[in-house]
């Protein structure tokens, strides 16, 4: 592997977007920065910004490690990202409308029918139904990595319930609180209007039957959910009720919440709960979660559910491969952001290539998430590779493979030193009647040396992300 | 406001108050057990009886039992640790209804008791009880200085005042369950010490002096804890607060509920009562009756506000 792109340094000095950060590190000294990092962690713990990790035992309310050194984008870099992200969000929503209606992209032979209709996230219940504004994914979280100057690639699309935006806001908040000086003069574009933009987006997609100011609620599975902190944080900043399924009920195809004054109508539900658990009558009868009859109320046009049930087809890893084609097909544009080269194990010739090159590929389960069940070829033992080979052979269609990328590295504090660690980036694109994007997102960093896994559930950390003014 | 949120705030108030009151009761038990010649057993037994916690088995209750059952049990709704963790759970469930300061006060140091075994806790008993009182005080301070005086505040304060009335009644019951050894006389040194310990437990020693000029008569102490309108931990005072909270809620919501009528009637009754009449009818009967009334108000509140 060649030397990965360094976000901060280039031959001959510091890259332009990092000048202020480099000066600041120089002035402060890494030792003091280390101490301040500990202070920041104490604050995070005090506020209770935690992320539960399932199935690991130990602390159920774990902190995500916070790295003090920000990650920066120049205005021109952001301009490219911004256009690329919006373009992608538009195409993904057009795709979702299409597959639940006429299926033009399938008829045109661009995407194989079985990838869509046999997809476990595809909901036949949604066929022929158009959600308000034809928007399916209202918050599109797109994971982006960088391999060189001006070279950004999309790793994954998250169209259901992408999480992490609270870290974008809290990381900035804590940096501003601890180091007000580096922000003075306003070189960094603000992100703190995100909750307002989110609420605006959700109100824009209120069902037509709603007259007057729409009542928006955030639906959480409850305080045991790993992202509960984020749910309560967002509800708080939007000034809306944070409801659990038992707080809602359906009567005559309308959704109501139980309040101290008796039932109150609900118009828009920003749900942070999976499709399967929305409505036990339509989906999982064994689910204790869910609101009986919610789906009927939704189809009757009395409530909007964001994101729409069935939106998950668009973030499936097998569908991901076709997003550049979608952009050309629906928008008639060339994709601004590239995809990562991806091999589909369902295709015979690609499968044999994958099988021959397992030791240098990353293999993922098509429906997996959060970095679980991945094989990272170069980091795995022979036994692990052979074990994984058997799994692929048993069900090739369940796997895709990508080359191990030279993910860019950003300077990160490690035991009093600055070390390069691999980073990725998740911006959050809002889709209502308008498309909105605050200049920033969540930078995740793999804290172990050489590690490529940045997922929070796999021990990754986070950084404040700067988009600079001209 | 969501009914679930109102319920969580109500119980948050109750559990924080209960954690503190339990700590205070244990301090009292410890004080009572300090008197020369006591084994502490009857003090500890009466404490368990008053909190309604089933005693371990057919053996004398020790300080270690108290520590294990009334402090360190994470599941028990009568134990300090159980109360604090339930308070935090309720707070976490309604994060959006809490202020940052309130949440921080619940969140800070919340695992403190987890690391403790009975031995360690016994050695540090005084500090632990002190820690609980401080925690409750910081929480109360955060509520008073940061929370909007809207319905959420009144549900929380309603819970804490209902609990406070209940716990002061139970505190008095400790004395009832505490049988004097046959060699002791009512009004003797031990009896006197026990009554005084109650004033210690409610931090009311000085206030009592001011009001009753230093006479440690049992009926005066009972009057102070039950009927005094000015003492913030008395039952009558707590009922005044309950009535006030319900009045605010009623104003918000319109229409009187049963809980309001019951609380108002009880408040009026308490303000007319004479402590000598209470004693002649039986203090213990009075206390049990009042505990039941308090429970009834609690139930009527949840009916009125759909939780």
pLDDT tens for each residue of B161-171: 999 999 999 99
Does the distance separating the beta carbons of B107 and A46 come in below 8 Å? yes
**A262 inside 8 A of chain B by CB:** yes
Does the distance separating the beta carbons of A247 and B4 come in below 8 Å? yes
pLDDT at residue B97 greater than cutoff 90: no
| Number of domains chain B is built from | 1
**Minimal C-alpha gap between A427 and chain B (Å):** 25
Closest-CA residue of B relative to A234 is B96
Q: What is the spatial order of strands in the sheet that A268-271 belongs to?
A: A241-243, A216-219, A268-271, A304-306
- Beta carbons of A110 and A325 less than 8 angstroms apart: yes
**A60 inside 8 A of chain B by CB:** no
Q: Encoding tokens for residue A356?
A: 């021959």
* Among the partner residues B3, B89, B93, nearest to A260 by beta-carbon distance: B3
Q: How far is residue A88 CA from its own chain's centroid?
A: 13
pLDDT at residue A459 greater than cutoff 70: no
Q: Encoding tokens for residue A198?
A: 């989110």
**Minimal C-alpha gap between A142 and chain B (Å):** 28
**Minimal C-alpha gap between A260 and chain B (Å):** 5
Does the distance separating the beta carbons of B1 and A259 come in below 8 Å? yes
**A247 inside 8 A of chain B by CB:** yes
pLDDT at residue A57 greater than cutoff 50: no
Q: What is the pLDDT of residue A16?
A: 94
DSSP A138: S
pLDDT at residue A197 greater than cutoff 70: yes
Collect all residues of chain B within an 8 Å Cβ-Cβ radius of residue A229.
Answer: 95
Q: What is the pLDDT of residue A285?
A: 67
Does the distance separating the beta carbons of B253 and A261 come in below 8 Å? yes
**Minimal C-alpha gap between B18 and chain A (Å):** 23
Q: What is the pLDDT of residue B40?
A: 64
Q: Encoding tokens for residue A204?
A: 């824009």
**A59 inside 8 A of chain B by CB:** no
Q: What is the pLDDT of residue A54?
A: 44
Q: What is the pLDDT of residue A55?
A: 41
Does the distance separating the beta carbons of A257 and B2 come in below 8 Å? yes
Name the 3-class secondary structure at A123: coil
- Beta carbons of A336 and A83 less than 8 angstroms apart: yes
Angle at B231 between CA B230 and CA B236, to 5 degrees: 80
pLDDT at residue B19 greater than cutoff 80: yes
Does the distance separating the beta carbons of A48 and B107 come in below 8 Å? yes
Q: Bridge-partner residues for A154, per DSSP?
A: A144, A339
Closest-CA residue of B relative to A59 is B111
pLDDT at residue A448 greater than cutoff 50: yes
Name the 3-class secondary structure at A201: helix
For residue B84, give Cα distances in angstroms to B71, B109, B133.
10, 11, 12
What is the pLDDT confidence band of residue B90, given thresholds at 50, 70 and 90? very high
- Beta carbons of B44 and B33 less than 8 angstroms apart: yes
- Beta carbons of A229 and A281 less than 8 angstroms apart: no
CA dihedral over A266, A271, A273, A276, signed as positive or negative: positive
* Among the partner residues A47, A222, A242, nearest to B96 by beta-carbon distance: A242
pLDDT at residue A46 greater than cutoff 90: no
Q: What is the pLDDT of residue B180?
A: 65
Concatenated DSSP letters of chain B: -BHHHHHHHHHHHHHHHHHHHHHHHHHHHHHHHTSTT--SHHHHHHHHHHHTPPPSSSS---HHHHIIIIIS-SS-TTSHHHHHHHHHHHHHHTGGGS-HHHHHHHHTTTTGGGG--HHHHHHTHHHHHHHHHHHHHHHHHHHHHHS-SSHHHHHHHHHHHHHHHHHHHHHHHHHHH-PPPTT--TTSHHHHHHHHHHHHHTT-HHHHHHHHTT---HHHHHHHHHT-SS-TTSHHHHHHHHHHHHHHHHHHH-S--HHHHHHHHHHHHHHH--HHHHHHH-HHHHHHHHHHHHHHHHHHHHHHTT-
Q: Which residues of chain B are at the A interface, by a Cβ-Cβ cutoff of 8 Å? A: 1-6, 89, 92-93, 95-96, 100, 103-104, 107-108, 151, 253, 305-307
Q: From CA B280, how far away is CA B273, in angstroms rounded? A: 12
Task: List, for residues A433-444, the tens digit of each pLDDT value.
Answer: 999 999 999 999
* Among the partner residues B2, B89, B92, nearest to A258 by beta-carbon distance: B2
Average pLDDT over residues A370-386: 84
Indicate left, alpha or beta for B232 from its phi (over 0: left) and psi (-120 to 50: alpha): alpha
Q: How far is residue B40 CA from its own chain's centroid?
A: 22
- Termini Cα distance of chain A: 34
Domain assignment of residue B246, given as a range: 3-304
Task: List, for residues A147-166, the tens digit of each pLDDT value.
Answer: 988 899 999 999 999 999 99
Give the list of residues 6+ apart from residue A288 with CB closer than 8 angstroms, or none: none
**Of B276, B284, B9, B1, nearest in space to B162 by CA:** B9
Task: List, for residues B267-294, the tens digit of each pLDDT value.
Answer: 999 999 999 999 999 999 999 999 999 9
Average pLDDT over residues A253-260: 96
Q: What is the pLDDT of residue B37?
A: 67
**Minimal C-alpha gap between A182 and chain B (Å):** 26
**A42 inside 8 A of chain B by CB:** no
**Within a 10 A sphere around the Cβ of B154, how many other Cβ atoms?**
23
pLDDT at residue B39 greater than cutoff 80: no
H-helix or E-strand containing A137? Answer: none
pLDDT at residue A370 greater than cutoff 90: no
Residue to mutate among A260, A261, A266, with most B CBs inside 10 A, is A260
Q: From CA A461, how far away is CA A457, in angstroms rounded? A: 10
Collect all residues of chain B within an 8 Å Cβ-Cβ radius of residue A228.
Answer: 92
- Beta carbons of A272 and A306 less than 8 angstroms apart: no
**Minimal C-alpha gap between B1 and chain A (Å):** 5
**A46 inside 8 A of chain B by CB:** yes
Does the distance separating the beta carbons of A232 and B95 come in below 8 Å? yes
Collect all residues of chain B within an 8 Å Cβ-Cβ radius of residue A46.
Answer: 104, 107-108
Average pLDDT over residues A128-140: 97
Q: From CA B82, how far away is CA B69, in angstroms rounded? A: 10
Q: From CA A372, how far away is CA A374, in angstroms rounded? A: 6
Closest-CA residue of A relative to B1 is A259
Closest-CA residue of B relative to A233 is B96
**Minimal C-alpha gap between B83 and chain A (Å):** 18
Task: List, for residues A417-430, the tens digit of each pLDDT value.
Answer: 899 999 999 999 99
Torsion of CA B9, B13, B19, B20, to 10 degrees: 150
What is the pLDDT confidence band of residue A42, given thresholds at 50, 70 and 90? confident
The distance between the two most distant Cα atoms of chain A, rounded to a whole number of Å, is 69
Q: What is the pLDDT of residue A230?
A: 92
* Among the partner residues B2, B93, B108, nearest to A259 by beta-carbon distance: B2
**Minimal C-alpha gap between B84 and chain A (Å):** 16
pLDDT at residue A395 greater than cutoff 50: yes
**Within a 10 A sphere around the Cβ of A133, how many other Cβ atoms?**
17
For residue A308, give Cα distances in angstroms to A52, A112, B297.
26, 23, 44
User: β-strand A151-158 against A338-339: which pairing, if any?
Assistant: parallel
Cis peptide before A307, with omega less than 30 degrees from 0?
yes
Q: From CA A111, how far away is CA A325, in angstroms rounded? A: 9
pLDDT at residue A8 greater than cutoff 90: yes
**Of B165, B178, B190, B188, nearest in space to B242 by CA:** B165
Q: Encoding tokens for residue A408?
A: 């860019």
* Among the partner residues B96, B107, B305, nearest to A260 by beta-carbon distance: B305
Q: Encoding tokens for residue B254?
A: 């319109």
Q: What is the pLDDT of residue B285?
A: 95
For residue A36, give Cα distances in angstroms to A39, A67, A166, A174.
5, 10, 21, 11
Give the list of residues 6+ apart from residue B248 with CB closer than 8 angstroms, or none: B149, B154
Judging by beta carbons within 10 Å of its beta carbon (0-12, 13-18, 19+), is residue B38 exposed, middle or buried? middle
**Of A454, A403, A468, A470, nearest in space to A167 by CA:** A454
Mark which residues 163-222 of A lie under 8 Å from B by CB: 222
Q: Bridge-partner residues for A362, per DSSP?
A: A376, A402
Give the list of residues 6+ apart from residue A95 with CB closer than 8 angstroms, or none: A105, A314, A326, A330
Q: What is the pLDDT of residue A51?
A: 63
Mark which residues 218-237 of A lie under 8 Å from B by CB: 222-223, 228-229, 232-233, 235-236
Q: Encoding tokens for residue A333?
A: 């544009």
Q: What is the pLDDT of residue A5?
A: 93
Radius of gyration (Cα) for chain B, nearest Å? Answer: 19
* Among the partner residues B3, B103, B107, nearest to A259 by beta-carbon distance: B3
What pTM does this model have? Answer: 0.85
**Minimal C-alpha gap between B141 and chain A (Å):** 17
- Beta carbons of A369 and A274 less than 8 angstroms apart: no
Q: From CA B287, how far away is CA B231, in angstroms rounded? A: 18
Percent of chain A residues topping a pLDDT of 70: 94
Residue to mutate among A46, A47, A48, A58, with most B CBs inside 10 A, is A48
Q: From CA A242, how far away is CA A219, in angstroms rounded? A: 6
In a 13 Å sphere around the CA of B80, the CA atoms on its Cβ side amount to 30
Does the distance separating the beta carbons of B89 and A48 come in below 8 Å? no
Q: Bridge-partner residues for A444, per DSSP?
A: A424, A462
Task: List, for residues A308-335, the tens digit of each pLDDT value.
Answer: 999 999 988 889 999 999 999 999 999 9
pLDDT at residue A369 greater than cutoff 80: no
Question: Buried (b) or exposed (e) across A398-434, using 16+ Cβ within 10 A?
Answer: bbbbbeebbbbbbbbbbeeebebbbbbbbbbbbbbee
* Among the partner residues B1, B93, B107, nearest to A260 by beta-carbon distance: B1
What is the pLDDT confidence band of residue A61, given thresholds at 50, 70 and 90? low
What is the pLDDT confidence band of residue A297, given thresholds at 50, 70 and 90? very high
Collect all residues of chain A within an 8 Å Cβ-Cβ radius of residue B307.
Answer: 260
Collect all residues of chain A within an 8 Å Cβ-Cβ radius of residue B108.
Answer: 46
- The values of phi and psi at residue A104, to 5°, are -55, -40
pLDDT at residue A468 greater than cutoff 90: yes
């Amino acid at each position: 592997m060649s030397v990965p792109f360094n976000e901060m340094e280039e031959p001959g000095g510091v890259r332009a977007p990092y000048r202020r950060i480099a000066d600041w590190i120089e002035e402060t000294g890494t030792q003091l920065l280390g101490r301040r990092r500990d202070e920041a962690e104490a604050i995070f713990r005090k506020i209770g910004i935690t992320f539960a990790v399932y199935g690991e035992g130990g602390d159920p309310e774990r902190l995500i490690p916070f790295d003090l050194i920000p990650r920066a984008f120049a205005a021109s870099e952001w301009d490219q990202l911004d256009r690329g992200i919006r373009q992608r969000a538009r195409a993904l929503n057009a795709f979702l409308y299409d597959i639940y209606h006429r299926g033009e992209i399938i008829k045109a032979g661009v995407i194989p029918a079985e990838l869509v209709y046999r997809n476990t996230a595809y909901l036949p219940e949604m066929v022929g139904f158009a959600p308000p504004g034809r928007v399916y994914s209202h918050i599109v979280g797109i994971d982006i990595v960088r391999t060189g100057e001006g070279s950004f690639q999309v790793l994954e699309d998250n169209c259901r319930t992408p999480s992490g935006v609270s870290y974008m806001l809290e990381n900035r908040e804590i940096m501003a609180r601890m180091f007000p000086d580096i922000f003075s003069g306003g070189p960094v574009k603000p992100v703190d209007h995100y909750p307002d933009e989110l609420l605006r987006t959700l109100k824009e997609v209120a069902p037509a039957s709603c007259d007057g100011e729409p009542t928006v609620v955030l639906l959480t599975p409850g305080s045991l959910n790993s992202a509960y902190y984020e749910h309560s944080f967002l509800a708080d900043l939007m000034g809306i009720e944070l409801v659990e399924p038992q707080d809602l009920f359906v009567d005559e195809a309308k959704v109501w919440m139980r309040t101290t004054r008796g039932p109150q109508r609900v118009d828009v539900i920003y749900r942070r709960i999976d499709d399967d658990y929305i409505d036990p009558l339509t989906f999982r009868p064994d689910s204790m979660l869910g609101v009986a009859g919610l789906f009927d109320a939704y189809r009757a046009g009395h409530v909007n559910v964001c994101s729409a049930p069935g939106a998950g087809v668009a973030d499936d890893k097998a569908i991901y491969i076709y997003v550049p084609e979608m952009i050309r097909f629906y928008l008639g544009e060339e994709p601004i952001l590239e995809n990562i080269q991806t091999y589909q194990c369902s295709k015979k010739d690609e499968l044999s290539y994958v099988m021959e090159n397992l030791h240098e590929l990353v293999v993922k389960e098509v429906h997996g998430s959060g970095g679980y069940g991945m094989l990272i070829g170069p980091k795995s033992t022979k036994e692990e590779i052979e074990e994984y080979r058997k799994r692929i052979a048993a069900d090739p269609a369940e796997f895709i493979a990508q080359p191990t990328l030279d993910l860019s590295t950003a300077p990160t504090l490690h035991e009093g030193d600055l070390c390069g660690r691999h980073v990725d980036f998740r911006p959050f694109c809002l889709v209502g009647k308008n498309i909105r994007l605050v200049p920033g997102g969540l930078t995740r960093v793999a804290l172990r040396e050489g590690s490529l896994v940045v997922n929070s559930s796999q021990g990754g950390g986070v950084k404040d992300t700067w988009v600079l003014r001209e | 406001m969501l009914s679930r949120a109102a319920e969580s705030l109500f119980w948050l108030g109750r559990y924080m108050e209960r954690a503190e009151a339990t700590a205070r009761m244990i301090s009292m038990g410890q004080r009572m057990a300090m008197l020369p010649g006591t084994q502490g057993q009857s003090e500890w037994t009466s404490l368990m009886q008053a909190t309604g916690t089933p005693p371990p088995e057919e053996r004398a209750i020790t300080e270690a039992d108290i520590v294990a059952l009334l402090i360190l049990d994470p599941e028990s709704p009568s134990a300090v640790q159980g109360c604090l963790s339930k308070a935090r759970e309720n707070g976490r469930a309604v994060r959006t209804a809490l202020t940052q300061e309130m949440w921080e006060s619940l969140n800070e140091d919340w695992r403190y008791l987890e690391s403790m075994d009975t031995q360690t806790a016994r050695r540090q008993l005084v500090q632990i009880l002190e820690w609980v009182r401080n925690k409750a005080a910081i929480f109360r301070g955060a509520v008073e200085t940061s929370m909007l005086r809207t319905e959420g505040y009144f549900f929380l304060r309603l819970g804490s005042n209902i609990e406070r009335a209940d716990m002061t009644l139970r505190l008095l019951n400790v004395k009832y369950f505490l049988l004097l050894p046959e060699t002791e006389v009512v009004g003797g040194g031990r009896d006197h010490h026990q009554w005084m310990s109650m004033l210690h437990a409610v931090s009311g020693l000085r206030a009592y002096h001011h009001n009753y000029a230093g006479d440690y008569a049992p009926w005066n102490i009972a009057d102070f804890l039950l009927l005094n309108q000015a003492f913030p931990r008395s039952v009558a005072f707590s009922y005044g607060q309950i009535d006030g909270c319900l009045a605010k809620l009623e104003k918000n919501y319109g229409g009187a509920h049963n809980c309001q009528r019951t609380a108002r009637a009880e408040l009026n009754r308490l303000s007319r009562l004479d402590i000598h009449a209470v004693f002649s009818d039986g203090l213990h009967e009075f206390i049990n009756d009042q505990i039941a009334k308090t429970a009834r108000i609690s139930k009527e509140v949840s009916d009125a506000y759909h939780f």
